[in-house]
Amino acid sequence: MKTGIHPTYYEAAQVVCACGNTWTTGATKEQIKVEICHACHPFFTGEQRIVDTEGRVERFRRRFNIQ
């Protein structure tokens, strides 16, 4: 392998979710911020919550006049 071309690998990188859940993993960044994790994702929690990305749900509802 060539030396000096690989990013720095952090053994104890901190991952922080918007819901407040945190865990440690290995990554090339020291801190990673995510919006959805396994603790708050609707698939894993079983809730029927719509995960809105950039207002797509509102745009869809306006387009088809859905209340």
Whether 11 shows a pLDDT value over 90: the answer reads yes
Residue of 13, 45, 40, 43 whose CA lies nearest to 28: 13
Give the start-to-end residue ranges of the domains of the chain. Answer: 10-64
Whether 37 shows a pLDDT value over 70: the answer reads yes
Residue of 34, 4, 3, 8 whose CA lies nearest to 19: 34
Categorize the per-residue pLDDT at 41 as very low, low, confident or very high, splitting at 50, 70 and 90: confident
Q: What's the pLDDT score for residue 57?
A: 75
Residue of 17, 45, 14, 47 whose CA lies nearest to 29: 14
pTM for this one?
A: 0.58
So what CATH class is 10-64? few secondary structures
Q: What's the pLDDT score for residue 30?
A: 95
User: For 49-59, how does the pLDDT look when each residue is reduced to its tens digit (9 = 90+)?
Assistant: 666 666 777 77
